[in-house]
A and B are shown apart, each in its own frame.
Chain A
Amino acid sequence: MYKGFSKACLEPKYMKGVKSLGRIGKAAALFVALVLLTAGLSGCTRDKPTIYVYNWGDYIDESILEEFEKETKIKVVYDTYATNEDMYVKIKAGGSAYDVIFPSDYMLTRMIEEDLVQKLDLSKIPNWKYIEKRHLGWDYDPANEYSLPYYWGTVGILYNTIMVGDPVDSWDILWNPKYEKEILMLDSQRDSIAVALLRLGYSINTLDENELAEAGELLKEQKPLVLAYVVDESQDKMIAGEAAMAVVWSGEVTVAKSQNPDLAFAIPQEGTNLWFDVMAVPKNAKNPEGAMAFINFMLDPEIAYRNADYTGYAVTHESVRSMIRPEISEDRSVYPEEEDLVNAEVFVNLGQTLSIYDRIWTEVKAH
């Protein structure tokens, strides 16, 4: 077919035709050609039902995606992000249409308020009934109209018991000059500012500008002690013994401990952030049907078990927890008990105050 096309192009008669088109005509022809080309390219993907999934880095057992493709004949295009804010900015800017996203609690609220996510069709997600009741109905989405929880956990300090001599029970230790250049902080604004707020004894959802400014100063003061601000690298660095302490999400602990037995995790006494990462469907999703099918698939007990076994994060299914290896399912750093969570607070969306967070974090990073 292409051969014939190029031959036709070379025929003098055809060339004459092109010449007589004139300047504007040629520009128009070029435009039409470009449109046809792009239409042709995107047409290839349109034939097969596809969903675009946007998830945190290293937050799924990717063999599950293949299984979903095999079972439902829906192709999965999988992308990852490092922080809620990365994901939010991309969805907000439009341009890219994802079908399933995994925001955290406060970010979901913000996206509901800004009309960026759509309601779930629970009749298409029968597996939601496996979710423990205590993980449903939180303030970030009281009726679970927009989201179903994927994983939950806390924020704490992962530390190397050989390199850290002092007891790790307070956020203070992250400001101890003894550990200069041995501390890894999260490169994520709400989480890092929350650590400073917790140390100061303030709420992690404070709207008070003075309290926030104090937290900002504290983070700048800490900067000389910090080895690096990272997200996905911290687990590897801790396993390799590159740093003494790292602020991490609780689910990172399982893999880290299994690969380096010197590592331990503590939730400081001042309190922590209790978080939920949820599955939601953006408003501009091209394939909401496929998205519901995907969410349902992820909540299937067998799949949820395999996924949790790989990621090490805490599942929201009671039945699945009992299937998991006891060294994980009975580890209080992964599945904290009620008394570990007395000082825990869930993030809420802060509305206008967020711009202060943006500014503080930019200043800390630039300091």
Chain B
Amino acid sequence: MKRSPLIPYLIWMVLFTVVPMVLVLYYAFTVPTESGVTWSLQNFARFFEPIYLRVLGRSIRLAVISTALCLILGYPAAMVMAGNAFKRKHVIMLLFVVPMWMNFLLRTYAWLTILERNGFINALLSFFDLPRLNILYTNSAVVLGMVYNFLPFMVLPIYSVLSKIDKGVVEAAGDLGANPFQVFMRVILPLSLPGVVSGITMVFMPAMTTFVISRLLGGGQFTLIGNLIEQQFLVVGDWGFGSAISVVMIVVILLSMAIMSFFEGEEKDVALW
């Protein structure tokens, strides 16, 4: 009887997680034939053709670049927010969070007009007689869109870990003769690693699977794995192939999470999830 409060969640999980997963697996491993449906690995065989592997490679590459950029930009921001140097840190926090209250599609759409040939950035550049920039509908625009949209997911977990670090530890390191660089490298960075790991996971996964950002800012030509899946379901109607790609995606993400949790080491209890 003690487990009864779990029942609604159990029903929820079965209906909206287990059943859809089984359906995806079913479509991935079957092909329709004239006499019905047969089990087959055909959909997977198709995915391992070079043309689709290149799409997978491109998705991984862009996701890694975006995640790295988010980390480089996000870590210092999190440190500023967690430190004492800046009095109104809740203002910075607010500035990070408020854009997330706006619709994601709308924010990405706005970049279209900012980046276009006669858009805001180029107007600004030509005002200062600087060379114009044509990055709309390129990989750079897609990476920009990802970094812009996913940066808060990097900053917030790192911030939450950094702000929990015992100030006494940092002071002790200083008292024992470590210079600020050593304090950072040997005390703060190792202690903040769990936050970094959850930040990386939270940015890498949506960056890997996005299709809206690449469609809008990539102009439909830099097909990412998400676009390929979307196209199979919404345009072509090949659910089998679409499901097979989704299964491959799940495997890639599970693998990357396994690698992450390896780095996470023993301090799992500090991580967000």
Contacts and interface: CB of A to CB of B under 8 A. Distances in A.
Interface of A: 23, 26-27, 30, 83, 85-86, 88-90, 92, 181, 187, 189, 223, 226-230, 233, 237, 240-242, 358, 361-363, 365-367
B51 A367 contact: yes
B33 to A, nearest CB: 13
B234 A86 contact: yes
Please give me the 7 A-B residue pairs with the lowest Cβ-Cβ distance, nearest first: A228-B219, A229-B220, A358-B236, A89-B237, A85-B235, A228-B137, A366-B223
Nearest to B232: A362
Range for the number of chain B residues in contact with chain A = 20 to 34
Contacts of A88: 237
B235 A227 contact: no
Interface stretch (B4-12, B67-75, B164-172, B247-255): B4-12
5 contacts: A88-B237, A89-B233, A223-B221, A241-B118, A365-B228
B54 interface: yes
B94 interface: no
B186 to A, nearest CB: 46
A226 B221 CA distance: 8
Interface in B214-271: 219-221, 223, 227-228, 231-238
Interface in B62-94: none
Dominant secondary structure of chain B at its interface with chain A: helix
Contacts, number: 75
A233 B219 CA distance: 10
Contact of B221 (A86, A229, A362): A229
B55 interface: yes
Given A89-B233, A358-B238, A27 B11 contact: yes
B134 interface: yes
Contacts of A187: 220
**Residue among B8, B116, B237 with max Cβ neighbours from chain A (10 Å):** B237
A223 B238 CA distance: 24
Dominant secondary structure of chain A at its interface with chain B: helix
A189 B235 contact: yes
Nearest to B138: A181
Interface in B8-66: 8, 11, 51-52, 54-55
Contact of A363 (B51, B219, B233, B234): B51
A366 B54 contact: yes
Contacts of B52: 366
A365 B221 CA distance: 6
Contacts of B112: 233
Nearest to A357: B236
A227 B219 contact: yes
Given A27-B11, A241-B117, A181 B238 contact: no
Contacts of B223: 365-366
B1 interface: yes
B220 A30 contact: no
Contacts of B232: 362
B51 A366 contact: yes
B118 A240 contact: yes
Given A30-B11, A228-B220, A242-B118, A86 B235 contact: yes
A230 B219 contact: yes
Given A27-B11, A366-B52, A227 B137 contact: yes
A357 B2 CA distance: 57
**Residue among B219, B231, B232 with max Cβ neighbours from chain A (10 Å):** B219
A243 B223 CA distance: 21
A230 B237 contact: no
A316 to B, nearest CB: 28
